[in-house]
Structure formats: C-alpha cells, structure tokens
Amino acid sequence: MVSLNQLVAVCLMYVAGLFIVAFAAERAALRGQGGWLLRSPLVYTLSLSIYCTAWTFYGAVGYAARSGLEYVTIYLGPSLVMIGWWWGLRRLVRIGRSHRVTSIADLISSRYGKSNTLAIVVTVMAVIGVTPYIALQLQSVILSLSIFAAPDVPLAEAGGDVINRGQAALWVAAGLTLFTVLFGTRNLNVNERHHGVVIAIAVEAVVKLLALVAVGIYVIWGLAGGLGETLARIDASDIGQWEVQGSRWAALTVLSGAALLCLPRMFQVMVVENDDERQLQIASWAFPLYLMLMSLFVVPIAVVGLDLMPEGANPDLFVLSLPLSQGQNGLAMLSFLGGFSSATSMVIVATLALSTMVSNHIVMPIWLAMRRDGATQSGDVRNIVILARRLSIFCVVGLGYLYYRASGGSGALAAIGTISFGGVAQFLPAMLGGVLWRGATRAGALCGLGTGFALWVFTMLLPSFGADVALSSATLESGLWGLAWLRPEALFGIAGIDPTVHAVVWSLALNT
C-alpha cells in the first residue's frame, strides 16, 4: 500500500520537475531560443487540454456511472466548436492578436468602446463563476487522497497531526497558491504570455492522457478479460442504454461549447497564447482527437467499477480505486498523478488569467487614480502589478476553498463543473454580440450580463449549497418572499423542467 508520505514525496518531485521545465522554457524564450517548440501546433493543442480538469479525469467516469452516455456532452460541445473554427475561433484569435487582448474581460470591453466598467463586471463575474471550479479541483485531490488513507490516520508519526478533509483542503489550497505565485508571477510580459506555463501544461497533458489510457487498458485486458468481455458487460449494463433527455443533451452541449470560449483559462491558452493562426488549423482536428482519447475508456472503467467495487463506492474515484483494489500500487500512483495534473494545471492557468483581469481592470485603475501627481515610475507600476496578481491568486484560491467548505465537499464532481460552466456561459451573448453585431451597445451588454448572471446565481449557484445554507428551505419550496413564481427551480411558474435545463434556458435567453 502506498503511504501518504510516499504520495506527498512523489507529488513534490513531480511539481519540482514541472517548475524546472517551465523555468527552462522561460529562459529559452527570453534568449530567443526554442521558438520552434513554443510555436509548435502540437504544444498549442496540448495546452488546450487545460479544458480536461479533474472533472474530466475523475468526474467523467462518475458521470457515466450515474447518468449513462450523457457524459459525452462534456466532449461534444468543445469538439463542435473546434471543428467549426473557421467561423468563430479564427475571428476571436485575429481580434485578440490585432488588439493585443490580454483576457476575456479585455476582449469584451474593447468591443464596447474600451469600457472599463464592463471589464470590471466581467472580471467580478469570472471570479465568482470560476470559484465552484476551483472547489471542484480541491475536492478531487482530497477525495483521491482519502482513497490512500482514512481521514483519521496520522499524517506523520512524529507530528501526530490528524488528516481531515477540511485541513487537507486548506493545505492543498495553500500549496496550489504558492505554486501558482512562483510559477506565473515572477515576470511581466506586455502580451501576458507565459511560455513556461504553456510548456508545463503540455507536459501535464501527456501525463494525464497516459495515466487514463493506462488505467483503461488495465481495466479492459487485466480485469474484464478482453475487449469482447468488456463490450458484453457494457451491453448488459444500464450505461449502455441510450436513455438521454434531449433537452439535457442540448443544454449541456451548449454549456460545454460555451465554456471552451468563455472560461478565462481557455481564453488564455486559446487566444492570448496563440502565436500563429496555423496553430488553430492543426488544433481544430487534433484537440477533438485528444478529447476522444480521453473519453475512450470512460464507459469501460465505469462499467467494470460498478461490477467489481463494493456497493456505495464513489464512482468518481473508480479511475483510482480500481487499480488500488487489485494491488496495482504503481498504476494507482500514476492515476493519482494524472488527476493531480488535471487539478493543478487548471488552478494555475485559471488563477493566472483571473489575476491578470483583476490587476488590469480593478487594481491598476484605482491605483493610478490615487496617484494624482501622475509621477508613476515603471518600477512602481511593475511592483504594484505583481503584488496585485499575487494577492488576487491568494483570494481566488481562497474563495474556492470557502466554497468547498460551505458546500460540504460532498457533491458529485460533474454537478459542480456544470454550475461553473453555467456562470461563465453568461459571457457568450456579449462576446458574440460585440464580435458579430455592429449594433451591440455597452448598455445592452451590461444589462444582459447583469440579468443572466443574477439568474444563474439564483437558479444554480445558491441552490448548490443545499437547503438553509445560502437559500432557506422555504425559498426553495415556496419561492422568494413566498412568491411561487420565484422558485429557483420553477421560475415564472414553469415547473417540471430539469433544474440545469431550466437555469440555462432562462439565464441565457434573458441575457441574450
């Protein structure tokens, strides 16, 4: 059995290796070397794998075990967007390069007269919308750690500290914060490009793909008895039955496709880090291929896990618990590193993107307004920007930790990811309106964003905490202020709709 000390040691060595890779790539970029690697379509495509977080690595299997083939929507939406890159992504990348856009807030504000008010609104919405996703990464790491040791096992014999999920989440959050600060805020780049981070993310993309494929191969040929036996198990299980609600299928596909465009971390790697439009041409088919490989073994792992694991076992962890249950400690360690890579890469890029938005659109305007003498030294500006970004990273990860604690850390990973997707999807009407429609106005964008975001908070975010936490049981059952037409899951008296479909339709429709 792998001990926690061994697990921590391996994680630290892995993180140190990533830091060395990132540092070497940054130094090479500063010296003008390695340009062929930094501009490689392969590296660009692998950096897009930041879409595949712990939700994809762990949660997709749990999603399949609970909801059958509905998990496919996670991959279908972004694949359709990438395949149709000629109509949408190409224009976004061109606008980003021509206007030197540094974030999604910068893009939206630049299309509406460089409105900093709009940029601030988008930044605040992005921070709140990504918070559940940060919590999801923390939850995935804590759940995977719990597989290796019970919550009450001593962390170290000498220290006598006791592992519990709250403390473990705090330490993981602190480690991710420190890692991100060291990783991405050492230098400033006028284009907000982080070559070292991109190379490190590409390495992590390979690690998590190899880990998931290795577990899948072991499950099919090591546990299920071969491909034929595995297909027979799938046919005999409920997962193999096509029982998908058309409305949920459409809503989740739209959400996942919108997330590819609107998640701050995806915008960072897809638009801001893009050096050449030809990278997008290759990624338009290579990234869907990567997603297909990531999803290839989801159903076999879910089906075999349901057959072999004890009743009540968490299906989100089958990727990890199946090898462990068979004494395959090396494979379990590789699986843990795959999940750890998925979580850390998401947190690093997401917090870097959000810290850029906070410093550029909130902190710096306030600081410059306070400097009435106008005597701003370049060194002063650099120090303020770096400090603002480091504090922003601390606050963003801290909000994720608070969400994790407030929600109890007990929800299914797929459900938490859907909530975050619903929040960032509210950027889509303003983004597309600013890019495709000359009649779009700043006032319209502000009203749409405000309306859609308020409805998302009321219908998805607040109910996710459970009854009597953010919303009272009376509000959930009888509506806000006792008005039945203001029930979070039955707005305007329209009941009987799936809660996710209900929230997506109302928020995006009124936003648009």
Above 80 in pLDDT, residue 3? no
Q: Which residue has the higher pLDDT, 22 or 158?
A: 22
Q: What is the DSSP letter of 442?
A: H
> Which of these three, 370, 391, 414, is where a domain ends?
414
In 437-498, alpha helices (H): 442-456, 473-478
**Do residues 168 and 147 touch, judged by C-beta distance below 8 A?**
no
Q: Are residues 410 and 508 in the same domain?
A: no
Among 255, 266, 258, 430, smallest CA distance to 352 is for 266
Q: Are residues 135 and 209 in the same domain?
A: yes
Q: Are strands 486-487 and 490-491 parallel, antiparallel or unpaired?
A: antiparallel
Q: Could you tell me which residues are beta bridge partners of residue 486?
A: 491
Rg (CA), the chain: 23
- The pLDDT tens digits for 35-47 are 666 678 888 899 9
**Do residues 271 and 101 touch, judged by C-beta distance below 8 A?**
yes
Above 90 in pLDDT, residue 452? yes
- The pLDDT tens digits for 321-370 are 888 888 888 898 899 889 888 888 888 888 888 988 998 888 888 887 77
What integer pLDDT is reported at residue 257 of this predicted model? 92
Residue 193 maps to a domain:
yes
Residue 154 maps to a domain:
no
- The pLDDT tens digits for 50-61 are 898 887 888 888
What integer pLDDT is reported at residue 254 of this predicted model? 92
Q: Are residues 448 and 398 in the same domain?
A: no
> Range of 509's domain?
426-512
Residue 51 maps to a domain:
yes
Q: What is the DSSP letter of 154?
A: B
Query: Residue 259 belongs to a domain with what CATH number?
Result: 1.20.1730.10
> Which of these three, 365, 384, 414, is where a domain ends?
414
What dihedral angle (degrees, nearest 10) is formed by the CA atoms of 418, 134, 3, 321? 0
Q: Are residues 87 and 60 in the same domain?
A: yes
Predicted model pTM: 0.86
Rounded to whole angstroms, the Cα distance separating 123 from 117 reads: 10
What integer pLDDT is reported at residue 191 of this predicted model? 54
**Do residues 190 and 426 touch, judged by C-beta distance below 8 A?**
no
What integer pLDDT is reported at residue 122 of this predicted model? 92
Q: Are residues 97 and 230 in the same domain?
A: yes
Residue 357 maps to a domain:
yes
**Do residues 488 and 463 touch, judged by C-beta distance below 8 A?**
yes
What integer pLDDT is reported at residue 158 of this predicted model? 31
Mean pLDDT of 399-406: 85
Rounded to whole angstroms, the Cα distance separating 14 from 117 reads: 41
What integer pLDDT is reported at residue 418 of this predicted model? 85
Q: What is the DSSP letter of 310?
A: P
Show the tokens assigned to 422. Answer: 């619903």
- The pLDDT tens digits for 132-169 are 888 888 888 888 887 776 533 433 333 333 456 777 78
Residue 314 maps to a domain:
yes
Above 60 in pLDDT, residue 237? yes
Mean pLDDT of 67-94: 86
Among 417, 508, 453, 505, smallest CA distance to 59 is for 417
- The pLDDT tens digits for 84-130 are 887 778 888 888 888 888 889 999 998 888 888 899 999 999 998 88
**E-assigned strands of 94-133?**
none
Mean pLDDT of 197-222: 91
Q: Are residues 394 and 439 in the same domain?
A: no
Q: Are residues 403 and 450 in the same domain?
A: no
Q: Are residues 447 and 298 in the same domain?
A: no
What integer pLDDT is reported at residue 80 of this predicted model? 93
Q: Which residues, at least 6 apart from 397, have a Cβ–Cβ distance to it below 8 Å? A: 134, 173, 176, 177, 180, 347, 351
What integer pLDDT is reported at residue 162 of this predicted model? 40
Mean per-residue pLDDT of the chain: 82
What integer pLDDT is reported at residue 483 of this predicted model? 77
Mean pLDDT of 394-399: 90
- The pLDDT tens digits for 294-326 are 999 999 999 998 888 888 788 888 898 888 888
Residue 288 maps to a domain:
yes
What integer pLDDT is reported at residue 188 of this predicted model? 60
Return the residue matching tokens 């750890």: 340
> Which of these three, 387, 414, 441, is where a domain ends?
414
Show the tokens assigned to 511. Answer: 């936003």
Above 90 in pLDDT, residue 184? no
Above 90 in pLDDT, residue 180? no
CB atoms within 10 A of CB 101: 23
Q: Are residues 345 and 466 in the same domain?
A: no
What integer pLDDT is reported at residue 159 of this predicted model? 33
Show the tokens assigned to 403. Answer: 């969400």
Show the tokens assigned to 174. Answer: 């602190």
Rounded to whole angstroms, the Cα distance separating 332 from 28 reads: 35
CB atoms within 10 A of CB 268: 27
